[in-house]
Amino acid sequence: MALRLMVGMSPGIVRSAAMFTLYTSMSYLSREYLTLNSLAAAATMILVASPAMLWDVGFQMSFLAVLGIVIGHAMVRNNRFYVRYSRRGVVGKLVSLVFVSLAAQTFVLPLVMYYFGNVPFYFILANIVAVPLTTLIIYMSILLFVLSPLCALGTLADFAWQWLAAAVGWLASGMNSLLSLIAKLPGASVEGVYISAVQLFAMYLLIAALLCVWRYCQRMYDSAHGTPIDRI
């Protein structure tokens, strides 16, 4: 039953649930939690349940996006600019959001070109809109789920639940409208940029090479200034 339920869900949902379960388990056992290890464990769980999921576009994009964020954060967590500005209230949140968007898009872009022949340019603007609204929608949806049993207690609770459900629907509709508007902006994307499997492989090799160069330079800097290198 658990395997059938896992296979029936989208890869992104299963990945999030698996990583959250691992995080909770490690916290309960007072063990160190390594995001890269949990990501690999989540991928293994999904592939054991459904090996064909490896060829699913959603699976590939979901895990590569998170992998980009994890590796990218490990690369810049000691960067002077990132450390300085990521802790400054609203500005820090914006800097972190822009960085997450760039890291995820870097790892996903080759796949987007390979499968869809599309190169988006306004992904940072889209994420600035989508991430806060999606987070709010998720928390409100969880609140709806928690408050559902209370609707039977009286009219006031049922009215509050209905109002909250309408607010969730309004936020989701508004977010979709804003994202659609961004997609229609001039120069939002370039279509028809398809790449071959060989070019896809070459692009990921290039990304890996650039990361190795960045890591080498960071190690040299850390060695010269005595800055510890954090683990992923």
pLDDT tens sequence across 3-17: 444 445 566 566 666
What is the domain partition of the chain in residue ranges?
Answer: 1-55
Measuring CA to CA, which residue among 100, 24, 23, 16 is closest to residue 63?
16
Q: With 90 as the cut, is the pLDDT of residue 198 above it?
A: yes
Measuring CA to CA, which residue among 99, 96, 92, 75 is closest to residue 230?
75
pLDDT at residue 48, rounded to an integer: 81
pLDDT at residue 13, rounded to an integer: 64
pTM over 0.75: no
- Tens of pLDDT, residue by residue over 127-144, are 888 888 888 888 888 888
Q: How far apart are CA 109 and CA 80, in angstroms?
A: 27
Q: How far apart are CA 62 and CA 40, in angstroms?
A: 12
Query: Using CA of residue 222, residue 227, residue 231, residue 232, what is the dihedral sign?
Result: negative
Is the Cβ–Cβ distance between 125 and 182 less than 8 Å? yes
Is the Cβ–Cβ distance between 218 and 230 less than 8 Å? no
pLDDT at residue 5, rounded to an integer: 45
- Tens of pLDDT, residue by residue over 141-193, are 888 877 777 766 667 777 777 888 888 889 989 988 998 898 888 887 888 88
